[in-house]
Amino acid sequence: MNTITSTDYKFPNQTSVYKGKVREVYRLEDNRVIMIATDRLSAFDVVMPKGIPYKGQILNQIATKMMKATEDLVPNWLEATPDPNVAVGQLCEPFKVEMVIRGYMAGHAAREYKAGKRELCGVALPEGLKENDKFEKPIITPATKAEMGDHDEDISREDILKRGIVSEEDYKVLEDYTRKLFERGTEIAAKQGLILVDTKYEFGKNANGEIVLIDEIHTPDSSRYFYAEGYEERQEKEEPQKQLSKEFVRQWLISKGFQGKEGQQLPEMTDEYINSISERYIELYENITGETFEKAAIDNIENRIQNNVLAYLNK
């Protein structure tokens, strides 16, 4: 199946291109950016060699819906989505931290806790927690923003301020926005019979110096969801939770002996497994949004994106 894993466009008034793990960002002269969500899949900060059909469309469309559902709380960078894989918005100077917020002891936090750590990013964790238990209140555990090929690293609020990565005044805004977005995301998830377990937000400053939400929000790549039905029973029986996120890919990689560490061999992903991931992402989309996923034409994605973006820019 056709996927888009890399782009090389030359848009009118384009000044530069930045390629992240999944998204490619084209900067224009008028302080706007064109962000293309590719079909690349990243796990343990490693980009997998094959693309996942429809993944970029799914991420872009969920992020767009969630930006619109939270813009009354927090300003964001988004202006338009001229193509299923494309978002256009304000150029922002990103903060070099990801604001990770966790409502439950899951994923990375659970792995660290199992390893005996009782503090995460300067936040003390109580004894006696089980994997997937709910925290008394959500905790913010920031991470440094890594370049492609590097690993994001946990960092405390104190270190962020001490190292001057973010000013104290700005950091207070980031914390406030993070908590507000997580609360709204939790409400949206609950309406779909889901629990928003943890997520990350990225922020930047626009040309006016305003702090705005950028990148993606509440997607299965940036967030973890549990099914609410049966959560309590599974916790009591210490059974794994039914979840919606790309954790199923991480667990598959772990089962094959890969966690992105030096010297580890990336396992081969067969076409059959690739298609099963695509199907899971479509399931994620439909469960998170409550809407049926409509597949965009993928017989020539590169041309489709180019034509749609040019038509938008020429308006």
Say what the pLDDT of residue 199 is: 97
For residue 2, pLDDT over 70 is answered with: yes
pTM of this prediction? 0.89
Say what the pLDDT of residue 24 is: 95
Name which residue leads in pLDDT, 1 or 62.
Answer: 62
Say what the pLDDT of residue 121 is: 95
Average pLDDT, the chain: 93
Using a pLDDT cut of 70, give the percent of the chain over it.
Answer: 98
Mean pLDDT of 237-258: 87
For residue 4, pLDDT over 90 is answered with: yes
Say what the pLDDT of residue 147 is: 59
In the structure, what pLDDT confidence band is assigned to residue 146 with cuts at 50, 70 and 90?
Answer: low
Helix-strand-coil percent breakdown of the chain, rounded to 5? 30, 25, 40
For residue 39, pLDDT over 60 is answered with: yes
Say what the pLDDT of residue 249 is: 86
Mean pLDDT of 104-118: 94
What are the residues whose beta carbons fall under 8 Å from the beta carbon of 193, sequence distance 6 or more?
227, 228, 229
What are the residues whose beta carbons fall under 8 Å from the beta carbon of 165, sequence distance 6 or more?
95, 96, 97, 144, 155, 159
Q: Which residue in the block uniquely carries the two structure tokens 């900067």?
A: 27
pLDDT in tens, 89-99: 999 999 999 99
For residue 242, pLDDT over 90 is answered with: no
Q: How far is CA 90 from the centre of its chain?
A: 19
Number of helices (H) and strands (E) in the chain: give both, helices first. 8, 18
For residue 150, pLDDT over 60 is answered with: no
Spatial contact of 45 and 146, defined as CB atoms under 8 Å apart: yes
pLDDT in tens, 174-192: 999 999 999 999 999 999 9
For residue 152, pLDDT over 80 is answered with: no
Residue type, 192: Q
Name the β-bridge partners of 191. none
